[in-house]
Structure 1
Amino acid sequence: MAENLEQSLLCTEITNVVDEENGMIVEKTPISQMGFPLESEEMIRGMMDKEKQHLPSDDYIKRLRSKDLDLNVRRREALNWIWKACEEHQFGPFCICLSGNYLDRFLSVHDFPNIDKAWTVQLLAVACLSLAAKVEETEVPSLIDLQVGDPQFVFEAKSVQRMELLVLNRLEWRLRVITPCSYITYFLRKMSKCDQKPSNTLISRSLQVIASKTQAGIDFLEFRPSEVAAAVALSVSGELHTVHFDNSPLFSLLQKQLGIELQGNASYGDD
């Protein structure tokens, strides 16, 4: 996990590579690159303007909270398996967040005729994890070997590949998405009195918290990625008593969006 995080901090150029096994073009720049180099006010503001394009449909959380009990249950099972599989393969937090993003976005725009059958969403989970690993990780196991973590079903590679193509089409091939991970160093830096690059400890801890929120239930979906990142940065910085609110317009905007929770913790680090 630590090695994956360290590799994610490296800056590389964007390249498109043909995945020979699955016969498709995948953008191979790690999603983490969106967060760490982009720390100017202008670029962060641009990300905040675009982040809603990378979220599930507006009615998704309402469906999860109302009559779609089967959808809610299957979603939770799928996310739990993704978490276990990422732990066994030592995939980083970015991969977990991407997998969850793909899963929720797909479920929000695609009606499964057999959502009550466990195997359908399990197959989707495998496909989402496979796509996320190809985007983010440097080493990706075969589709058969990917299926660890005590899955209820194990699928042939061809079945997973067909689901991958369905996911890609429904997501309009948007795999490079903005997640809370994309913002984390920016907000950690803004909460530092020295406005300096955050320590690896702060970054690693923050990413772990963000990844854990994929299992925290549907309430997590109410907030935009920038809001989640700001709240996590606040919490983690508060643990080490290093919080100092920056006076930049962007940070003031996030304070207003998060409301009283952020204001109520403004005294961290002043004691």
Structure 2
Amino acid sequence: MADSGYMVSLSTLICKEDETCFDVQEAEEEEEEEEEEEENAKAMLCEEDSDEYVEMLLNRESCFCSATPDAASGKSVNSARSDAVRWILRTKALFGFSMKTAYVAVIYLDHFFMHRTTDSIKGKSWAIRLLSVACLSLAVKMEERKVPALSEFRTEDYRFDAEAIQRMELLVLGTLEWRMSMVTPFSYLSHFASKLQQHASEGVLWKAIKLVFASIEVMNLVDYRASVIAAAAVLAASDEGLTQTSVKSKMSTVSSCRSLDTDHVFSCYSLLIQETQKEKLKTSKGLAPPDHSVADGLSVDSSVDTDGTISFVVASSKRRRLQ
């Protein structure tokens, strides 16, 4: 039987502010953020693009083998992953973290899902949210100069104490075997752009980056190697009408691309094009992304069971253990 102190009126959790009041301000802020992100993206691109350096990256990449998607995970895990990625991207914007930081956090998330059974967290939104916080906080420690206190990582629906986040961080670290330095597509973009295009430009590189982030919610980063995503993004930014044959032909002319699976490149290329077309369709119809804002709700504390697993307690006016 549920505690009476735990009952919360749904109406108290719904944001009642009139969105029309903020339309103009939001449009201006989005334009400023776009310009700022483009500047940050330039700093994210790797200036070293020699064949030897790229070969070194490809060798590092092979340490993290791609995996076949788990058919048993089902739609529930895909939905949970999408929610986690959206939270990571929103929080990245809130704190002003780099695009690379957000990308690395999603890599951690996908590697965690690849190595851990998801049965224990299916249907538990608080567990997915805590995992999101842990992945982002670890990425921030790897990529950012200024690291916020764990208490600053607020979520809309739960308040996690520092101990809960730290214990989830340890679980992620253990699952990834403490291999946290990840190769990202951004290290390859300049190199591939110069090889796959006659005249590489910053505009193409920025478009390639935007294509990757436009697809990150649906593209599991474990399914494609970083080099494959980079090559596909450059090709998609240059030409949206390539066939599988033309992709193979372009890839064969670049020595550093010959080790890549061209079928994977075309598959990733097709996904990027598909997602960008969806975005264009939404824009043309004037559709905005769904509002996931919820008022501050529950706080979560952690404890460790004797078998090393983590359990959490949700608190309202009273506390009860989450099942």
Could you say what secondary structure the match of 2:159 adopts? coil
2:229 is equivalent to residue 215 of structure 1: no
2:190 is equivalent to residue 185 of structure 1: yes
Label 1:121 to 1:251 Cα distance change in 2 as closer, same or farther (>3 A): same
Could you say what secondary structure the match of 1:215 adopts? coil
State how far apart, in whole Å, the 2-side matches of 1:142 and 1:136 are: 15
Could you say what secondary structure the match of 1:222 adopts? coil
Contact 2:196 2:254 in 1 (8 A): no
Contact 2:193 2:234 in 1 (8 A): yes
State how far apart, in whole Å, the 1-side matches of 2:213 and 2:42 are: 16
Contact 1:119 1:153 in 2 (8 A): yes
The Cα offsets for residues 201-230 of structure 1, whole Å up to 9 and x where unpaired, read as 333332222223221244x65322211111
- The residue correspondences of 1:167-186 to structure 2 (distance < 5 A) are 167-186=172-191
Q: 1:42 aligns with which of 12, 37, 52?
A: 52
Q: Structure 2 unaligned segments of length 5 or more: list them.
A: 1-32, 241-248, 271-323
Contact 2:235 2:269 in 1 (8 A): no
Contact 2:228 2:268 in 1 (8 A): no
Q: 2:97 aligns with which of 80, 91, 98?
A: 91
Q: What amino acid is aligned across from residue 212 of structure 1 in structure 2?
A: A
State how far apart, in whole Å, the 1-side matches of 2:119 and 2:101 are: 28
The equivalent of 2:164 in structure 1 is 159
2:106 is equivalent to residue 100 of structure 1: yes
The two structures have a TM-score, normalised by structure 1, of 0.70
The equivalent of 2:238 in structure 1 is 237
The Cα offsets for residues 30-85 of structure 1, whole Å up to 9 and x where unpaired, read as xx5xx6144111221232233242356x35x1x2x335443333222211211211
State how far apart, in whole Å, the 1-side matches of 2:187 and 2:49 are: 10
Contact 1:133 1:140 in 2 (8 A): yes
Contact 1:190 1:245 in 2 (8 A): no
129-138 or 205-214, which deviates more? 205-214
Aligned residues: 228
State how far apart, in whole Å, the 1-side matches of 2:125 and 2:269 are: 43
Structure 1 runs, 4 residues or longer, greater than 6 Å off = 259-264
Could you say what secondary structure the match of 1:53 adopts? coil
Q: Structure 1 unaligned segments of length 5 or more: list them.
A: 11-31, 265-271
State how far apart, in whole Å, the 2-side matches of 1:201 and 1:175 are: 30
State how far apart, in whole Å, the 2-side matches of 1:262 and 1:214 are: 11
Q: What amino acid is aligned across from residue 177 of structure 1 in structure 2?
A: M
The two structures have a TM-score, normalised by structure 2, of 0.60
CA-CA distance at 1:125 after TM superposition: 0.5
The equivalent of 1:73 in structure 2 is 79
CA RMSD of aligned residues (A): 3.3
Q: What amino acid is aligned across from residue 231 of structure 2 in structure 1?
A: A
- The residue correspondences of 1:118-129 to structure 2 (distance < 5 A) are 118-129=125-136
- The residue correspondences of 1:2-21 to structure 2 (distance < 5 A) are 6=39
The Cα offsets for residues 123-158 of structure 1, whole Å up to 9 and x where unpaired, read as 01000011111222233332232225xx33221112
Instruction: Name the % identity.
Output: 28
Bigger relative CO (Cα 8 Å, ≥ 6 apart)? 2
Contact 1:127 1:161 in 2 (8 A): yes
